[in-house]
């Protein structure tokens, strides 16, 4: 059985690319990205989808409230018979209807060691705070902001000569490793959620 994946994006789509590549290389088996949905018409992620023969859908949020917009997303998810929803640089909050419908079936990648530095510009927040260790997190999405149960985290050092850009690049490199890893665990049915704890079964 193939796990049908939909990905929500807003921009560049390098994490989307990491997932697509992991499937094409056979690192993630029995899964397919069937549709990529963007709230931005010019998101490069839509082009990436097209290059791999994946349906690319732009849904314009203009003039719609969150509930209406989310219902449009839900329609697309249903049309593609989606099993797993991935947020990959999707810069909007999801409403409770989608979260309720896909409980424990929505993953997000965040460029900080949660629960530190939630929200936008997490790498900048960490850099300006002066942390010595930064990193990234893959977590399930719940109703809060970057608050769902944590699946995988990866640390990177913050070095004295770093700039925010250098740190961001070091974190991104790890994002491209842990996001496919988390998707693989999900697809293999190895993630068990107990309250806030996610157990990765052997």
What residues are annotated to the active site? 110
DSSP 95-146: PHHHHHHTTT-EEEEESS-TTSS-SS-HHHHHHHHT-SEEEEEEEE--SSSS
Give the residue, chosen from 175, 185, 186, 198, that forms a contact with ligand GRF under the rule CB under 6 A: 175
Q: How far is the CB of 164 from ligand GRF (least distance, A)?
A: 13
Give the residue, chosen from 89, 135, 148, 180, that forms a contact with ligand GRF under the rule CB under 6 A: 89
DSSP 41-88: TT-HHHHHHHHTT-EEEE---TT--HHHHHHHHHHHHHHTT-SEEEES
Q: How far is the CB of 26 from ligand GRF (least distance, A)?
A: 22
Q: How far is the CB of 104 from ligand GRF (least distance, A)?
A: 19
Closer residue to ligand GRF in complex, CB, 36/198: 36
Give the residue, chosen from 28, 54, 88, 158, that forms a contact with ligand GRF under the rule CB under 6 A: 88
Closer residue to ligand GRF in complex, CB, 14/147: 14
Handedness of CA 118, 41, 15, 93 (dihedral sign): positive
Closer residue to ligand GRF in complex, CB, 38/82: 38
- As a whole number of angstroms, the distance between CA 22 and CA 33 comes to 11
Burial of 12 (0-12, 13-18, 19+ CB in 10 A): middle
Q: How far is the CB of 43 from ligand GRF (least distance, A)?
A: 8
Closer residue to ligand GRF in complex, CB, 18/198: 18
Joined together, the tokens standing for residue 148 give 């769902």
For ligand GRF, the binding residues (CB under 6 A) are: 11-15, 88-89, 109-111, 172, 175
């Amino acid at each position: 059985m193939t796990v049908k994946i939909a990905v929500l994006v807003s921009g560049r789509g390098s994490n989307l690319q990491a997932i697509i590549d992991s499937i094409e290389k056979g690192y993630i088996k029995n899964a397919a990205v069937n549709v990529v949905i963007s709230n931005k018409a010019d998101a490069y992620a839509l082009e990436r989808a097209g290059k791999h023969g994946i349906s690319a859908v732009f849904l314009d949020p203009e003039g719609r409230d969150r509930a209406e917009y989310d219902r449009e997303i839900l329609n697309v998810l249903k049309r593609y018979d989606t099993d797993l929803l991935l947020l990959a640089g999707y810069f909007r909050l999801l409403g409770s209807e989608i979260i309720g419908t896909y409980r424990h079936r929505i993953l997000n990648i965040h460029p900080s060691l949660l629960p530190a530095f939630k929200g936008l510009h997490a790498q900048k927040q960490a850099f300006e705070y002066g942390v010595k260790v930064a990193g990234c997190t893959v977590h399930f999405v719940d109703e809060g902001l970057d608050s769902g149960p944590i699946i995988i985290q990866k640390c990177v050092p913050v070095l004295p000569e770093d700039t925010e850009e250098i740190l961001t690049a070091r974190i991104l490199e790890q994002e491209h490793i842990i996001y496919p890893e988390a998707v693989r665990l999900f697809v293999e049915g190895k993630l068990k959620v107990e309250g806030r704890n996610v157990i990765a079964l052997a």
